[in-house]
Structure 1
Amino acid sequence: MNFTNFGRYILLLKAVFRKPEKLKIYIKAIFQEMNYVGIGSLGLICIISTFVGAVMTLQIAFQLTSDLIPRTIIGQVTRDSSILELSPTISALVLAGKIGSAISSEIGTMRVTEQIDALEIMGINAPGYLILPKIIAGITMVPFLVIISMFLSILGGYIGGTLSGAITASQYIQGITTDFNPYTITVALVKAFVFGFIITSVAAYEGFYVRGGALEVARSSTKAVVISCISILAADYIVTQLLL
């Protein structure tokens, strides 16, 4: 996204956050988007988080070959890695592919079929009506999904570690309960909030300004996912640097 596109992105956000014409319609749209973003993505996040936690525990156990290091450290590393990095970032990258491409395709199709032009002719704030509910759903439901991901990632580590014999149940539980810092959850939720905004706003921008036909809509969806993933990784570094 070059400087000109970034300027258009900022102008679009200004239009998005303009006062709604009919609040009742916006509220209905917000709940619909929350259902799609949150409930619609729950199964995918559950599966990925559980397996990521299990695999991470096995890899940590494989690296700890010294008898001088207590096995409980496996639970601690799994817990902190899941909360601070894996759950927020991997969930966001997955959602960028699932939700971002869908948002970009939806809005892009409306653009090329002139539905957005029709809304603007009727005096409706098209950016606010189409994009604001998606952004609100993103910044509210992505943190919710990340919380679920944290829990399931740690649970997956427990299942994977105990079934493989890499660690006993008591050692794992002792590890995840030792020296726990609640501030790590705050950092993770801040990341999730930022990631949710990036996923929805970038995808909406790419779809809103698409020109052409079906091929251009497909390309805008791919571009939205790529830019979102890069932006998520950059934001991950910035938030980590600021908060830790």
Structure 2
Amino acid sequence: MINFLYKTKLSLVILVSLFNPMLLLTIDYRTFLKYIKYSSIDVLFIVLVSSFFISLVLSLQIVKEFLYLNAVNLVSSILAISFIRELSPVLTSLIVIGKVGSLVTSEIGTMVVNEQIDALFILGIDPIRYVIYPRIISLVLTLPCLNLFALITSFISCSFICFYLYDMSPSFFFINLFYKQILFDFIKSMFKMLSFGLLISIVSCVSGITTVGGSRGVGLSTTSSVVTSMILVFIFNFILSYLLFDNGISSFSFL
């Protein structure tokens, strides 16, 4: 319980300090650029492949039902709503947690165990600015970009399965893809990703910086970081979806 309260307090301290406008002038840009690469280029292939096949499966199950109801013009819009509002943000976040969040925690945890953080204190370097801030900012910036690529891949994948199995032309699919609220939903989806990026990065960094117990402690911190991040993403996804999308109006009214 004490450990939980300490981590919560440290997370809030880091979150509040991020609003300091002088932050961008003091972070370590080499670490920042390195983690931009880790959290974008190194993750992009996994995100694209996962989005492609998830889209294939979802289309396989949904399209035939709408064809049965003779509502073929609603297929692409419903798929777009599903991916923009929920599936793409959550799927991308889970991939980033497993790939980048675990890396962040294990790296910082190893630095703590090897007393590198103490060495930074001795040298007069603030470890939060040098170690934590670059990782947080890089994740917050790259998650919306990954979400964009995931959405594009999902739409292409859906159009492919609709054309290959159900003889629906890609032009017909993409014409009906753009429903009335798509721009607003896209902006809200990107806001979700900014929130998830902040959440994942803070949890990963705090789990790493509070590591104790040698190499075994690094493993435990990494596992705890991944599990905690996933649970919080699911919880905050519900909260954000309720606040952003639950206006009491059916999505069909926007089509």
TM-score, normalising length: structure 1: 0.91
User: How does 1:1-244 map onto structure 2 within 5 Å?
Assistant: 2-13=4-15, 23=26, 26-64=28-66, 66-67=68-69, 69-165=70-166, 167-179=168-180, 181-244=182-245
Deviations 1:107-154 (A, max 9, x none): 000000101110011111001110101111011000010011111111
Shift >6 Å, 4+ stretches: 15-18
Aligned to 2:176, the other structure's residue is in SS state helix
CA 1:143–1:21 in structure 2 vs 1: closer, same or farther (change >3 Å)?
closer
Contact 2:7–2:206 (8 Å) recurs in 1:
no
Deviations 1:192-242 (A, max 9, x none): 001111111101100101001111101111110111011111111122222
CA 1:114–1:235 in structure 2 vs 1: closer, same or farther (change >3 Å)?
same
Query: Cα RMSD between the aligned structures?
Result: 2.2
Deviations 1:84-112 (A, max 9, x none): 11111110011111111000000000000
- The Cα of 1:16 is off from its aligned counterpart by 6.7
- The Cα of 1:6 is off from its aligned counterpart by 0.9
1:231 and 1:121 mapped to 2: Cα distance?
35
CA 1:110–1:16 in structure 2 vs 1: closer, same or farther (change >3 Å)?
farther
CA 1:20–1:187 in structure 2 vs 1: closer, same or farther (change >3 Å)?
closer
- The Cα of 1:57 is off from its aligned counterpart by 1.1
Contact 1:53–1:157 (8 Å) recurs in 2:
yes
CA 1:14–1:188 in structure 2 vs 1: closer, same or farther (change >3 Å)?
closer
CA 1:70–1:5 in structure 2 vs 1: closer, same or farther (change >3 Å)?
same
1:31 and 1:12 mapped to 2: Cα distance?
20
Deviations 1:151-198 (A, max 9, x none): 111111111221222634344223213445310001100000011111
Aligned to 1:167, the other structure's residue is in SS state coil
Contact 1:58–1:166 (8 Å) recurs in 2:
no
Any unmatched runs of 5+ in structure 1?
none
2:25 and 2:122 mapped to 1: Cα distance?
17
Any unmatched runs of 5+ in structure 2?
246-255
Percent identity over paired residues: 27
TM-score, normalising length: structure 2: 0.87
